[in-house]
Amino acid sequence: MKFLCLPGAYGSAKNFAVQLGPFAKHMEDRGLATFAFTQGEHEAEPPLGWENYFGSRPLYRFLVAEEGDAFEVVRRVRHIPRGLSPEDTLRLFRPDEKHKDKDGSDYDWSPFRRAIDRVFQTIEDDPEIDGLIGYSEGAMVAACICAEENRRWEESGSPRRIQFAIFFAGTPPLVKDGDRYIAKLADEHGPVIRIPTFHVFGSNDPLVYSSVALFNSCDQDTAQLYDHGLGHLVPRDADNVEQLGDTLSDVITRINSDAAVAAADAEETVTRTETTTVTTTVTETTTTITAEGDLADAAIAAADEIVPISSPDTEPGRPSLSLSEPGSTHGSTAGTSAGSINLDLNDVADVFSKVSSE
């Protein structure tokens, strides 16, 4: 399985390859997966006080960075009442006026749509990609890709490229709804992602409710949770990497096996369709030949009616039929034995035409 990997905010393809390094190496060494890395198109500077936290420059985001305090949400989390569901917790951060910009105008979704389209294009450019890995903001974008593929599949039957997704510290996707995108939370809309998913989170992550809400938005028969016990990060320690590898080995092996069976079934269906087409063609040809044979018999019967002649050399009431080239002498008994009918090919054509019209 080949994964396209999407970094978090203020990340890059290069830095995420380092961040995910121990996990990726472990998976590659076990022959379970290969990895490709991408990044957002919007270059961004980290918040004040975090300049050296995110790695070497340049740094990027998939989404357009808003001005202001980038960690305001984290500070607000500390004041959230206990006992709320993950979905109700997320609703506390919804703006009062949905889909409006700060100045009250309709929100411009084009940058977000462009970010999603760029990831789709990256997938399209590499036919081997059949899985996604996302961290934080990258996990939200990966979830949006999965949800959009599911929407297209349900509405028009478009095949889904992504067979499996791994989310590190994820967030529920925004799903296309007309010209806008909305968060379809599980307690309101049910699952919006219906492929196998694996959700890695830390119980000490202040945003853990977001990871659980994403888990709830996925098919519960094929979604799995893994708690590494740390914070908002990708685990790199040997114990967690080993356990992740063991768990994912079973999941990926099963997915690959199911995909192989599905491919074999599809190939068998195509073969059956081609065989049916050939059989139908042969049957139609046989039917045509049989019909022409019946038409010949009908022509002879018609000739019986036209010239009812019998002779000792022929079966009573059944004259012999001989053909001559068009224009030759016919219609008389000259050179013809009694009880025979001498028709040129034009006469035969006329008889066939008469029978066909009847």
SS (HEC) of the chain: CEEEEECCCCECHHHHHHHCHHHHHHHHHCCCCEEEECCCCEECCCCCCCCCCCCCCCCEECCCCCCCCCCHHHHHHCCCCCCCCHHHHHHCCCCCCCCECCCCCECCCHHHHHHHHHHHHHHHHCCCEEEEEEECHHHHHHHHHHHHHHHHHHHHCCCCCCCEEEEECCCCCEEEECCEEEECCHHHHCCCECCCEEEEECCCCCCHHHHHHHHHCECCCCEEEEECCCCCCCCCCHHHHHHHHHHHHHHHHHHHHHHHHHHHHHHHHHHHHHHHHHHHHHHHHHHHHHHHHHHHHHHHHHHHHHCCCCCCCCECCECEEEEECCCCCCCCCCCCCCCEEEEEHHHHHHHHHHHHHC
Answer yes or no: pTM beyond 0.75.
no
Res 104: pLDDT: 46
Q: Which residues of the chain have pLDDT under 50?
A: 97-98, 104, 286-292, 295-296, 298-300, 302-358
Q: What is the pLDDT of residues 322-350, one digit of tens each?
A: 444 444 444 443 444 444 334 444 444 44
What is the rounded CA–CA span in Å between residue 152 and residue 160? 8
**CA–CA distances in Å: residue 239 to residues 22, 199, 228, 251:** 11, 17, 9, 19
**Which residues are marked as active site?**
136
Res 27: pLDDT: 97
Which residues, in sequence order, are bridge partners of residue 199? Answer: 167, 225
Res 64: pLDDT: 83
Res 71: pLDDT: 63
What is the rounded CA–CA span in Å between residue 168 and residue 233? 7
Res 74: pLDDT: 66
For the chain, the distance separating the N- and C-terminal CA atoms, rounded to the nearest angstrom, is 67
Contacts 24+ apart (CB under 8 A), 346-354: 348/299, 348/323, 351/299, 351/302, 351/303, 352/295, 352/299, 354/302
Res 70: pLDDT: 58
